[in-house]
């Protein structure tokens, strides 16, 4: 069975790789992502990693909920169920949960050559594609191609990044529910 994704709750304009800072320049554009999400009919929630938080302090996120830290088991969930997930760049817990729940997902990997040169990089991208994740190249918005960043170009690429590349794909995302 195929299901169309309609704008609704968009969880996680995540803007930094867990445990690293390679996605941090794109975190400086989170406010633009929030505006683009709302312009496309989404109700965004921002779930930044700890490394992304300093990039968010001076941004106008228009009263968008910003969810930080993991909740403890005795606390209620802080977001409604997501209708879709935008992963910018690659927070692993959010991505794993989205894939496990078969939530339509678009990811924008933001990695330098040294990270993309890791032996597991290409295999990881292949697994994500196989799982139905649409990969967006942060250089030019190309779908399912990911060009590693040259060291020192992160800010330039982040400034050229267009949120409509992501939301165009997210609006067209379909997920094959299949039979379990």
Residue 164 lies in a domain: yes
Domain limits for position 144:
2-174
pLDDT of res. 90: 53
pLDDT of res. 9: 65
pLDDT of res. 2: 42
Nearest to 94 by CA among 42, 134, 47: 47
Length of the chain: 180
Helix axis angle, 163-172 relative to 30-39, nearest 10°?
Answer: 40
Residue 11 lies in a domain: yes
Q: How confident is the model at residue 8 (pLDDT cuts 50, 70, 90)?
A: low
- Any idea what the CATH number is for the domain that residue 11 is in? 3.40.50
Q: Is residue 59's pLDDT more than 90?
A: no
Looking at mean pLDDT, say which of 3-7, 40-44, 136-140 comes out highest. 136-140
For the chain, what is the domain count? 1
pLDDT of res. 123: 92
Which phi and psi (to 5°) does residue 100 adopt? -65, -35
Q: Is residue 142's pLDDT more than 70?
A: yes
Residue 180 lies in a domain: no
Residue that wins the pLDDT comparison between 92 and 44: 44
Tens digits of per-residue pLDDT, 71-108? 887 999 888 888 887 777 656 667 787 888 888 888 88
This prediction's pTM: 0.60
């Amino acid at each position: 069975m195929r299901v169309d994704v309609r704008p609704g709750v968009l969880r996680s304009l995540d803007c930094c790789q867990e445990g690293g800072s390679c996605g941090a320049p794109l975190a400086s554009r989170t406010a633009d992502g929030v505006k683009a999400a709302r312009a496309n009919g989404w109700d965004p929630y921002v779930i930044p990693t700890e490394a992304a938080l300093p990039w968010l302090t001076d941004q106008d996120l228009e009263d968008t909920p910003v969810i930080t830290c993991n909740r403890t088991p005795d606390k209620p969930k802080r977001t409604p169920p997501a209708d879709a997930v935008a992963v910018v760049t690659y927070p692993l817990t959010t991505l794993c949960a989205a894939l496990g729940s078969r939530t339509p997902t678009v990811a924008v990997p933001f990695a330098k050559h040294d990270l993309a040169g890791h032996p597991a990089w290409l295999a990881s991208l292949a697994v994500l594609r196989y799982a139905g994740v649409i990969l967006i190249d942060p250089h030019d918005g190309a779908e399912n191609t990911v060009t590693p960043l040259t060291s020192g170009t992160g800010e330039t690429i982040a400034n050229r990044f267009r949120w409509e590349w992501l939301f165009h794909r997210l609006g067209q995302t379909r997920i094959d529910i299949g039979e379990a």
